[in-house]
């Protein structure tokens, strides 16, 4: 099927990044959020990020202007009904995602493909609560969306071949690479990445190394661009904890038990960069370890 119009639910960091790359690739994008402030902030962020691409000569000013012209916003979820593809990028809570799909279902065109940008929740389970499990799949972008080249495509047990191929073609048009993942907890990237981050938190918790020494060791010793604790702050410690809980609950293996220190930071509201404090304190000129 031909995909021309794309609805994006959620105007946060992931949602505005998805809207950015879709509009730049030539798709008409309708961005939805319950907050007008979030929508205004998302449009400003997209414009600023496109300006950065123009200044680096990645794109032309004309391409930026055309992309911005393809983005519309709405607070009314039903407005997304006539789109060809919906990408849900709301909070990483299953109950929230289910409620969104339930509210949207009565307004959808028969051909509309539903997808979720979830980083860990069962696609099969989400799909089973809709009227079109064969037209439902996981469409997992990496953060930051305009920069990262990978998209995980996750088929639920009922997803048909036509739906998968349509989504694969969208990824191709974006100039990104698709990795096909089976529908098991946390898929590929987070199945490997999150236990590594969790182990880094355990290494800190047990006093094996300091925040700085742990991050330095992985950057210089394993050639990682960011240390695991720095990366956890970038992702959001609440998101890291949520994914570890999905792994622990879904696979019933104690090796996925979230570190108590990670839980403690989340309980404190120290969620990383987005709250100003996590394993580093970002409120000054340069980040300072909090432990």
Domain boundaries, the chain: 5-182, 190-289
- Please give the pLDDT value at position 1: 78
pLDDT for res 92 = 85
What is the reported pLDDT for 91?
87
Active-site residue identified among 119, 120, 122, 198: 119
Is residue 190 part of the annotated active site? The answer reads yes
- Annotated binding residue 143: yes
Whether 140 is catalytic is yes
190-289 matches 5-182 in CATH topology? no
Selected catalytic residue, list 16, 117, 120, 190: 190
Candidates 45, 17, 18, 14; CA nearest to 6 is 18
- Topology of domain 5-182, per CATH? Rossmann fold (3.40.50)
Q: Is residue 33 marked as binding? A: yes
Say if residue 255 carries a ligand binding annotation.
Answer: no
Catalytic residue among 32, 116, 140, 230: 140
Mean pLDDT, consecutive 10-residue segments, the chain of 291 residues?
Answer: 95 96 98 97 98 97 98 98 97 93 97 95 96 98 95 98 98 98 95 98 98 98 97 95 94 97 98 97 96 92
Pairwise CA distance, residues 49 & 199, whole Å = 33
Which residues contact residue 182 at a Cβ distance below 8 angstroms, ignoring those fewer than 6 apart?
A: 154, 155
- Is 284 annotated in some ligand binding site? no
Catalytic site residue 49? no
CA trace torsion 203, 262, 140, 99 (10° rounding): 160
For the chain, where are the E strands, in sequence order? 5-9, 28-32, 71-74, 85-88, 113-116, 136-141, 150-155, 177-182, 280-281, 288-289
Whole-model pTM: value is: 0.91
* Residues 224, 143: Cα–Cα separation, whole Å: 16
Among positive and negative, which fits the CA dihedral 196, 197, 202, 208? positive
Of the candidates 151, 4, 196, the residue with the CA atom closest to the CA atom of residue 82? 4
Give catalytic status of residue 217 as yes or no.
Answer: no
Return d(Cα 218, Cα 232) in angstroms, integer: 13
10 is in an annotated binding site: yes
Q: Report the CATH number of the 190-289 domain.
A: 1.10.1040.10
């Amino acid at each position: 099927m031909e995909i021309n119009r794309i609805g994006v639910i959620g105007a946060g960091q992931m949602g505005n990044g998805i809207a950015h790359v879709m509009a730049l690739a030539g798709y008409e994008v309708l961005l939805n959020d319950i907050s007008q402030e979030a929508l205004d902030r998302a449009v400003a962020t997209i414009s600023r990020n496109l300006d950065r691409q123009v200044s680096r000569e990645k794109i032309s000013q004309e391409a930026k202007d055309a992309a911005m012209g393809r983005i519309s916003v709405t607070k009314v979820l039903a407005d997304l009904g006539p789109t060809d593809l919906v990408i849900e990028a709301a909070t990483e809570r299953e109950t929230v995602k289910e409620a969104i799909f339930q509210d949207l279902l009565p307004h959808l065109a028969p051909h509309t493909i539903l997808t979720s940008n979830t980083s860990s929740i069962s696609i099969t389970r989400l799909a089973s609560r809709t009227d079109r499990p064969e037209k439902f799949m996981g469409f997992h972008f990496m953060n930051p969306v305009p920069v990262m080249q990978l998209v995980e495509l996750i088929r639920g047990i009922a997803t048909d071949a036509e739906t998968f191929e349509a989504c694969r073609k969208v990824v191709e048009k974006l100039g990104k690479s698709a990795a096909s993942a089976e529908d098991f907890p946390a898929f590929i990237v987070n199945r490997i990445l999150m236990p590594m981050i969790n182990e880094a938190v355990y290494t800190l918790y047990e006093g094996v190394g300091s925040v700085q020494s742990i991050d330095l060791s992985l950057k210089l010793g394993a050639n990682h661009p960011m240390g695991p604790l720095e990366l956890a702050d970038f992702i959001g410690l609440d998101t890291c904890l949520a994914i570890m809980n999905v792994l622990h609950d879904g696979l019933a293996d104690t090796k996925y038990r979230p570190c108590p220190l990670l839980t403690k930071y989340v309980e404190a509201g120290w969620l990383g960069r987005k709250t100003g404090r996590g394993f580093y304190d970002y409120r000054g000129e340069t980040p300072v370890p909090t432990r």
